[in-house]
Chain A
Amino acid sequence: MRIFWLISVLGAVLSLRGVFANDTHTNNWAVLVCTSRFWFNYRHMANVLSMYRTVKRLGIPDSQIILMLSDDVACNSRNLFPGSVFNNADRAIDLYGASVEVDYKGYEVTVENFIRLLTDRWSKDQPKSKRLLTDENSNIFIYMTGHGGEDFLKFQDAEEISSYDIADAFAQMHEKKRYNEIFFMIDTCQANTMYSKFYSPNVLAVGSSRLDESSYSHHSDVEIGVAVIDRFTYYTLEFMESIEKNSTLTLQDLFDSYTFDKVHSHVGVRTDLYERDPSKVLVTDFFGSVQNIVLDDIDQADNAYEDSQESQESSDLPDHILQLAIEKSRDEVTSKKNESKVHIRKATLVDYEDSIAEMSKVSHHKMLLEVRVFLIFMGLLIVYYYSRKR
């Protein structure tokens, strides 16, 4: 009973957040791929581990990150800092120090495995931890780095994946309802050619350099003796460091942050397959784990009212008050948004403080905020009262 109450209160309160999160995904996945081998490609390993750290920091759990790492530079005998990988000469963050779950390592990183992963065509004994268990509500962030050329990306030292392969894999994923939206990011030479062949809907892509252009490394560590990070990834990370779970920055902000002066190549963005406007898409829609919940078509609030009518006689009063409050709040929201009907409500697991803090940023919602705070208190009070009574 108590849980029921809590959820309904939460649902009511957080539906207000719908102002921003008007997407429909319920889970976030990340596929991070480093395709090149060898010690001198240290920076590619560092690139991908930096991305891994970022998406993990923003809340995507290890179970939803597929990390493909084609070489183990941390344990390379040439590494002056055994067991560590750094993405900056200041060596402030050890990318390998914290728990890192590498799903595909060394020679497991192949074109075949990558395609199988995307399309989920595996034999029966493929462990779940090494599968991309996405559905039609999944937002997938795919990051690739390595050595590439026009329409290809080298895997290991032996094979290549072509832009057509990835495009076809995405098409299959779309047919099999394996994603809601894909954000494809690639850091390699002539990277923009890699997304040029995509044709599936809801795919947003960004690449580090255009045709006949090289992508460059950012700087070297004079102790380790290798370049530690690529420019495009470096400035992506620089932007991402300003992102918290409740950030309101959008992907357009990210794209705007890339300049030729910084990256030394022309960063390309492909939006024609993507329905939404990147300036309305939160960075956290792909990098974070904003886990929305999809409810069924029956109006949850009405249902709750009915349920309470049926099961409880003694608690009519608090029920009624809450119901009123919910209705009132919903009216306000709909009037503001001019939305005709709200079928699906979102309940994020972001804690109260976060959502409050976030709401306070939006000035014209100040009134609403007060109502919300009031409602929360009321709800809590009722819950408390109810539980005491039992």
Chain B
Amino acid sequence: MALIEKLQRRIIDLGLLPRLIASLPRLSLVCAMVGICWLTVFIPMEGQYRRTYISENALMPSQAYSYFRETEWNILRGYRTQVQLLQSVGPHQRNEEISAWLQEFGVKTATFVNEEGKETLYGILNAPRGDGTEAMVLAAPWFNGDDEANIGGTALTISLARFFNRWPVWSKNIILVFSEDANATLRSWVEAYHTSLDLTGGSIESAVVLDYPGANDFFKYVEIYYAGLNGELPNLDMVNIAVHITEHEGMKVSLNGIPEEQLDQDDFYSKLKTLMRGVKFMALAGARKVYGNEAFSGWRIQSITLRARGEEGPFDITTFGRIPEAIFRSVNNLLEKFHQSFFFYLLLAPRYFVSIATYLPAAIALSVSFTLASLNNLLNNSYSSASLLSLYNIWGLLALSVALAISYIIAQLLAYAQHPQLLVLSSFVVSFIPILLKNVKIMAPFAYRCRAFAYLYLSIILTSLLVVNFALAFSIGTLAFPMTLVKNSVTSKLRLKNCLLLLLSNPFISIWIFGNLVDDQLGGIQMFYGFISAWKNLGCWTWFIICIGWLPAWLLVAYSSIATSSISIVDESQIEAVKHKKTL
């Protein structure tokens, strides 16, 4: 105790606490900077990341020789020609035709029609000697994420099924899925598989989505997509075996669609790029283009999408087919569910990763920075002595509830009446509140408390989100950060500054700007439709979190930036003291 006492005395002697309180704004800024730099500067540095490794002994990727070679090419070509002919036929007739092909070699088939009336054909190849309690999925959407006809992928899936049928080694069932698209239709099939379908093949362990658009025989390199919805990722072992096998077969791997010319780079910037690309894909999953692997999120299925890129190149389509072949033989070796390797990780290159313990401080620092900003607004003004149950606090909480209610209504309204233009426009207008409402004044302590609650609320949201969906927590933390710099609008200069800060940190404007800057697919207001449809069709929570987590905080801050009238409040304890003196 003596030591602590001594320490306390020393702290008081030095006046550390007042100094700390005085420097809260600076500390908050430093925390945010540390958070951002942690991810963008520290992690891509040599020595911070690790080389990937296959953690599960049972997987043994590429230990068995892959036999999907030239002999299968003719079969594949045959199916491909037929698949091309089916392009002009309606979905139902086309599925019936493919179903007949599959039944020829013993696949049990069924079709599932979802609420939108879109059909998904699926078939089960029962493991000849397995117990049939587990399954691996091979999926080929008829149209891929780019709305291109997935001719190669479909033909490959059928010929692979025929090829797999000849092997007696399967311990898990193989499920083939031919959905109309890679988006909602595939997602609805996955949900139906786990809830209502009659023909099932056991719990799905892994899913590989094949994306080989066009009818070309040759391609250049392979893209692997792995980001799932709501921050979910496939087990790192699944990505590792896919990378390992692809490179083992001699092809180059591009993670999340990194351009071909950047594949050979191995410097700080390439790692940073890959890292940030992964964060972007995770944060925007669902809202962006959907590749197919996202459909399996939420069911403990390790899923990836393999995509062949380039029309011409040294590799033929059977080489591409050997990747799923080897992945299936590898996963087939599993005795337990994927559990050995990381579920939370960021990749810096196909063979480099950082695990959750290394990258999490980035989001934690951002979250702490909001807490410090909140403390700053609570302590660093003349109203800090107001009691906990003072009117301002209660008003502040009430304002937060009102902001939450408004946000919830906006979220719901947008989902039904999709007018994101209106949303962005109104956000724009509301951002100019400090200038527009020149004559309205609110009480200064109220403004401080509102901000304190707003930052605290956002900090809580970020803290609860940062493990589950790191990318989203980090993005929201970074984009909303300007919010913490808002001060009471006393002068006209401050008013203008506040307007700009509000504009920057508004959830809708900010993601709109961000989306347009970093992603060529999310031009204009397209991304809002993406978010809303992801929420409605795919069960992706991003839109909801932005509306319920980010927006209320912003609304409170916006409200607090209205011009204030300073009042003098009397501290109750001072009154007590005065009273005490009088009685003395």
Query: Which residues in A have some Cβ–Cβ distance to B below 8 Å?
Result: 38-40, 76-80, 82, 220, 222-227
Contacts and interface: CB of A to CB of B under 8 A. Distances in A.
28 contacts: A38-B58, A38-B335, A39-B58, A40-B57, A77-B127, A77-B129, A77-B130, A77-B131, A77-B169, A77-B170, A78-B169, A78-B170, A78-B171, A78-B333, A80-B168, A82-B129, A82-B168, A222-B63, A222-B64, A222-B65, A223-B65, A224-B64, A225-B63, A225-B64, A225-B65, A225-B169, A225-B329, A226-B60
B171 A77 contact: yes
B484 interface: no
Given A77-B171, A82-B129, 17 more contacts: A38-B58, A38-B335, A39-B58, A39-B333, A77-B130, A77-B169, A78-B169, A78-B171, A78-B333, A80-B167, A80-B169, A82-B168, A224-B64, A225-B60, A225-B64, A226-B60, A227-B63
B63 A78 contact: no
Contacts of A38: 58, 335
Interface string B155-177: 00000000000011111000000
Nearest to B64: A225
B332 interface: yes
Contacts, number: 46
Contacts of A39: 58, 333, 335
Nearest to B127: A77
Nearest to B63: A225
Contacts of B127: 77
Interface in B65-79: 65
A195 to B, nearest CB: 26
A123 to B, nearest CB: 33
Contacts of B64: 222-225
A323 to B, nearest CB: 68
A324 to B, nearest CB: 70
A40 B331 CA distance: 12
Contacts of A227: 63
Nearest to B131: A77
Interface of B: 57-58, 60, 63-65, 127-131, 167-171, 329, 332-333, 335
Contacts of A223: 64-65
Contacts of A76: 171
Most interface-central of A38, A40, A78, A226 (chain B CB within 10 A): A78
Most interface-central of B128, B131, B171 (chain A CB within 10 A): B171
A38 B56 CA distance: 12
Nearest to B172: A77
A218 to B, nearest CB: 14
Nearest to A77: B129
Contacts of B329: 225
Contacts of A222: 63-65
A220 B62 CA distance: 11
Contacts of B167: 80
A82 B167 CA distance: 12
B65 A79 contact: no
A40 B130 CA distance: 16
Nearest to B129: A77
A188 B171 CA distance: 28
A386 B122 CA distance: 87
A77 B64 CA distance: 15
A357 to B, nearest CB: 45
A314 B324 CA distance: 89
Contacts of A220: 63
The 4 closest A-B pairs by CB, nearest first: A225-B64, A77-B129, A222-B65, A77-B171
A77 B129 CA distance: 5
Nearest to A75: B129
B163 to A, nearest CB: 14
Contacts of A78: 169-171, 332-333
Nearest to A225: B64
Contacts of B169: 77-80, 225
A216 to B, nearest CB: 14
Contacts of B128: 77
Given A77-B129, A77-B130, A222-B65, A40 B170 contact: no
A40 B169 CA distance: 14
Nearest to B332: A78
B240 to A, nearest CB: 16
A223 B65 CA distance: 6
A224 B332 CA distance: 12
Given A77-B127, A78-B333, A226 B171 contact: no
A40 B333 contact: yes
Nearest to B167: A80
Nearest to A222: B65
A229 to B, nearest CB: 14
Contacts of B170: 77-78
Contacts of A40: 57-58, 60, 333
A79 B171 CA distance: 9
A381 B63 CA distance: 65
Nearest to B65: A222
Nearest to A224: B64
